[in-house]
Chain A
Amino acid sequence: MSGLNQSGWKPAMGAAEMADAPTYTGNRALMLEEALIFEIGDGATSGIDLAPAPKVTGRLGGLGRSHKIGLPGLSEPETVRHYTRLSRQNYAIDLGLFPLGSCTMKHNPRLNEKVARMAGFADVHPLQPKETVQGALAVINDLAHWLIALTGMHGVAMTPKAGAHGELCGILCIKAALAARGEHRSVILVPESAHGTNPATAAFAGFAVENIPATSEGRVDLTALKARLGPDVAGVMITNPNTCGLFERDMKHISDAVHAAGGYVYCDGANFNAIVGKVRPGDLGIDAMHINLHKTFSTPHGGGGPGSGPVVLSAALSPFGPLPYTARTADGVVHLIEEADAEAFEREHFGAPLQSFGRMTAFHGQMGMFTRALAYIMSHGADGLKQVAEDAVLNANYVLRSLEDVLDAPFAHSGPCMHEALFSDDGLAEGFSTLDIAKGLIDEGYHPMTVYFPLVVHGAMLIEPTETESKAALDQFIGAMRAVAARAKAGDPALKSAPHFAPRRRLDETLAARKPVLVWKEPDRVEANP
C-alpha cells in the first residue's frame, strides 16, 4: 500500500443532537449576528478615496465646523459585509409569499429596476431646461395617459409622493372645489373599516372626521350614510374594494347620494389591484382616487418606501389639481407646467383662469417610480392587467375557501372576496390570539398576513396573496396556515413563544416604548445618564 489517507480526511455524519449548543460568535451558521456601525467603525476610516481638495481661501463665513460629528466609517469590504449581513435578517417578497392584506406585495420585476437606472432617467436634474429632458417628461405624460385610461377618469395629479400624500391631494382638491363654489363644508365621512391614513389625512387638511358604520356584511351602510349627508358634509372617503376584501356593491348609489347632497367622493385606491382592467372607478362616480404605484404597479416597497401616489380626478376636481403637471401639445413637445407657465397655459388651452391649489412637493414627483410603473404597465398591456386582477382575485378566493373550515371567516357567507381574504380569531383556544398565528407563520418561513386590521373584525387576519404566486406556492402556504391554526385551536404552548427559528425571538415592544432608545450612544455615556 502506498500511504494510508495521509490527509486524514474521512467523511463523517456526526450525531444529530446538540442543536442548542452555544457558539463562540453567537452566529448560527448562515444566521449571522452583526454589530452596529458605531461599534465596528471609527472616524478615521473611510471606504471612499477622494482627490485632495484644492488649496483655496475658505469662504465659509466663519462657521467652519470645529466639533466632531461622530460618524463612523468603514472600508468598502466591511461596508458590503455589514449591509449584506443585515439584509439576510429580512424577509422579502424575493424569498417567499408575503400575504400582507391591503399591501399588495407582488413580485417586483427587475426589468423595471433596469430601466429606472438608465442614465437618461436616473441622472437628470429636475430643473434642467425642458428641451433637455423631453424623454423624462414623456414618461410622466405616458404614465398619466395610462392611469387615466385604466380608471376612466378625467385627469391625474402625478406629484404626490405616496398613498397618504395622494389622499391629501384629493382632499385638498375637494376643499379647493368647495371654496370655488363659495361653500364651507367641514366634515368628511369615513367608514370604520378605513385605513388610518384616511381620517388622519382629512384631519391634517383641517376637516372634522365622522365615522360611518358598516353592515353585518362588511360593507358601508348606505342608509346610515345617506342619513348623515347634509350641507356640512364635504365628502366621503371610501376604500373600494374595501379593507374587508369586498367590493362595495352600492358604490354608484353612494356616489350619486353624495353628489346630490353637494359633496365629493374620494376613493382610497390601495386595493385597485383587484379591479385593474376590470372596473373603471370613473364609472362608479368617483371624484378622486389615489393609486399606490408601489402596490398595484409593483414598484418595490424598499422596507417602507419610497412610494408614489398619483391621484386620478374627475372633471369636477381636475382644475384644482396641483402644480406642476405635464401636457403634450400637438407639436409633440411635452411641457412641464410650473408656476411660471400655468396661468398662460390654462387660459390658452382650457380657456379658464388657473384654479390649481398649488404645489405639494419640491420638483415633479417620484420619477424613479414612474419609470418602473410604466415599464410594468407596458409589459402587461391592457390584456395582462386584466389578467392580473383576475388571478389576484382567484388566488384570494382559493385561500378563502381552503381555510374557511379551520378559521372563522366572518364575511365568507356573503359571497366571494376580491383580492384579499379576511379571517378572525374566533374559535382559537383560550389565551391564543391572532398574534400567535402570525408568529407561528414566521417559523413556517412566511411573513405573516396583516393582523388586527381592519378594526371592524376582532383579531383580524387579512391575507392578500397577489397574482404572482403559483398554485404550488399557495398550496404550501395553505398547508402551513392549516397547521398553525390547528396548533392555535389545540392550545399548543410552543406556539405562544413562537417564533423559535427567526433571527430574533419576540421583541419587547413595551420596553422600547417605555424607555425609548432611538439613537446609539457610547456605552460610557449611557452609564453616565442612566
Chain B
Amino acid sequence: MRYLPLTQPERHAMLAAIGAATIDDLFADVPAEARLEGPIAGLPMHASEIAVERHFSGLARKNMAASDHPFFLGAGAYKHHIPASVDHLIQRGEFLTAYTPYQPEIAQGTLQMLFEFQTQVARLFGCDVANASMYDGSTACWEAISMAGRITKRNKAILSSGLHPHYVSVARTMARFTGDILQTGIPQLAATTDSAQILAAIDGETSCVVIQYPDILGRIEDLSVIAAKAHEHGALLIAVVTEPVALGAIKSPGEMGADIVVGEGQSLGVGLQFGGPYVGLFACKEKYLRQMPGRLCGQTVDAEGKRGFVLTLSTREQHIRREKATSNICTNSGLCALAFSIHLTLLGEKGLRDLAMLNHGMAVQAAERLAQIPGVGLINDSFFNEFTIELNKNAREIIHQLAARGVLGGVSLGRLYPGEAALENGLLIAVTEVVTAQDIEALAVNLQELMA
C-alpha cells in the first residue's frame, strides 16, 4: 500500500519492542463481539493510482464544466477567473498540509496571511475588524444573527425577502432549535424590495435586520435608512454579501451603517466546486469584538521584540469556554481564505475596481440584449453582475432545455423557491468577466427559440 511506510519485518520488530504478540493484542480493549475479522465485507480492495484516476476521470466527464459552455449561473456562487498563481501557491505543502496555527513560532506564514486576510475583509466590508473565516456565507449569516442576539439580549430577527433562500433555510433550521423568532418572506418579481415593510416591522424587540446586498434578485439598495431605524430601536443591521466583487463597484455595507457584515468569499480565488468548500467572511464594529465567533489572529512581538502574529482572544472559543463559547466552530476555511487573500492581493484596489466595472459592463450588455427578446422582461432597475428576468414560460423547464443545447443558462427561481407560482417564470442571470459576447448571444438566441 503506497501510503503506508511500515514493512512487515518492522511491524514485527515494533510489536516485539512493545511486548505484544500480535496486532490484535493492541486492540484488546475492543470487546470481541465488536471486532471485525478480515476486511469489511462488500467493499473493494485497494486500488492503484492509475485505477483511481481513471475512475474519477470517467465520473468527471459526466458533468458539464462551466468553462466549456456559455455559463450564467450565480445565486451565491460565481464563476470568476482564478489566476494560475493562486492555485499554485495554495498547493505549497507548507500551506496545504499545515494545521491550525496553535504553535505560532512555526506558523507565522499562516498567521501573517490571516492577519492580512482579516484586514482585507474588514476594509472591503467597511468594518473595523474581521475574523479568520467561517465555513461559508450561509453559516456565517446564522452566526451573525446569533451574535446579534447575544449583544441585544433579544431574539427576534427580521430577514429581508431578498436574502438567499438557502441562507434563510439555515437560519430557520437553527431558530427552530434555539427558539429565536424569525420574520421571513418571499421576494416579489419587482424592482423594489421589501424595505418599506422591514422599516415598519422594526421595533423595540428586534434584535437585528438581515439584508443581502446586492440581494438574491440582484437588486441594490441603500442600507442607510434601515440602519438608522434599526439603531434607533437598539437593533443591529446585518448585511450579507454573496458577491464580494460587487464591492469594487458599490459602497460597502459598513459605510452605510451595518454593524455586522458577513458574506460568501468564494468569488475571489475559490472555484465553484459544486458548492464547497467555500469561505465565510465575518466582519463587525470593534465594539462587538468579544461577541464574534471563530478564530482571530492578532499582532504581537516575540521575546526579541520582533513583530509576529498569534491566534488571540481565544477565550471566546469552544476549546476554552466550552458550553459558554460564542460558537461551536473550530475548523474554519483557512486554505480558501488564503486563496481569497492571494487573489485580492493580485487584484489590488485598481484591479478589483476594474474587475467590478468589467462585470457590471458585461452584465448591463447582457441585460439589454436579453430584454430585446419578445416575452422577456427585465425586473431590475439596479444590479451589479446579476439580474432577474421574467420569461413567458416556466424558467426551470427552460433551463433544462438550454442545458440540452449546451447552454448553462442561469438559476431558475423555481429551483430556489419551490411551490411559489408567482416566481416560477423568474430566471437569475449572472454575468462575470469570463462571459463573452458570443456567450451572451448564444443564450439570447437559444432563449428566444425556446420561448417562441
Contact = CB atoms under 8 A, between A and B. Distances in A.
Contacts of B351: 46-48, 50, 73
Given A163-B331, A304-B100, A363-B275, A79 B73 contact: no
Contact of A61 (B252, B358, B364, B382): B382
A369 B247 CA distance: 29
Contacts of A338: 415, 418
A513 B4 contact: no
Interface stretch (A222-230, A465-473, A483-491): A465-473
Given A87-B109, A146-B43, A384-B1, A132 B64 contact: yes
A172 interface: yes
Contacts of B243: none
Interface string B48-75: 0101110111111111111110010101
A48 B56 contact: no
Contacts of A371: 56
A471 B333 contact: no
A73 B347 contact: yes
B381 A516 contact: no
B276 A301 contact: no
B362 interface: yes
Interface residues of A, number: 205
A300 B335 contact: yes
A331 interface: no
A288 interface: no
Given A70-B349, A72-B349, A367-B276, A94 B124 contact: no
Nearest to B274: A367
A150 interface: yes
A294 to B, nearest CB: 7
Given A305-B332, A368-B273, A394-B15, A53 B85 contact: no
Nearest to A247: B29
Contacts of B56: 115, 118, 121, 139, 371, 375
Interface stretch (A7-15, A102-110, A259-267, A422-430): A102-110
Given A44-B350, A149-B40, A115 B173 contact: no
Given A53-B357, A203-B324, A516 B116 contact: no
Contact of B179 (A122, A206, A283, A367): A206
A364 B76 CA distance: 13
A46 B176 contact: no
B450 interface: no
Interface stretch (B125-133, B200-208, B230-238): B125-133
A509 B300 contact: yes
Given A122-B271, A506-B105, A518-B298, A71 B97 contact: no
Interface string B368-404: 1000000000001111100000000000000110010
A98 to B, nearest CB: 7
Contacts of A453: 319
B240 to A, nearest CB: 11
A233 interface: no
Contacts of B354: 46, 50, 53
Contacts, number: 730
B98 A92 contact: yes
B17 A398 contact: yes
Interface string A272-312: 00010111100110000000001000001111111110000
Given A118-B56, A471-B6, A394 B11 contact: yes
B170 interface: yes
Contact of B330 (A163, A175, A279, A393): A163
B268 to A, nearest CB: 11
Interface residues of B, number: 214
A518 B273 contact: no
B80 to A, nearest CB: 11
A120 B63 contact: yes
Given A304-B99, A305-B333, A364 B276 contact: yes
Interface string B90-115: 11111111111101111111101101
Given A90-B95, A125-B77, A358 B169 contact: yes
Interface in A123-175: 123-129, 131-136, 138-139, 146, 149-150, 161-165, 167-168, 172, 175
Contacts of B336: 302, 305-306
Given A394-B15, A470-B6, A518-B296, A378 B40 contact: no
B287 interface: no
Nearest to B95: A87
Given A121-B63, A125-B274, A502-B106, A384 B46 contact: yes
Contact of A387 (B1, B25, B299): B1
19 contacts: A36-B116, A48-B355, A60-B220, A65-B353, A69-B124, A89-B106, A123-B272, A128-B64, A161-B135, A163-B331, A284-B34, A305-B133, A380-B46, A395-B6, A467-B6, A471-B7, A504-B108, A509-B104, A517-B299
Given A125-B66, A391-B4, 16 more contacts: A58-B360, A59-B367, A60-B220, A73-B347, A92-B93, A92-B95, A132-B63, A301-B97, A357-B173, A361-B136, A362-B137, A363-B274, A364-B274, A385-B40, A504-B302, A512-B299
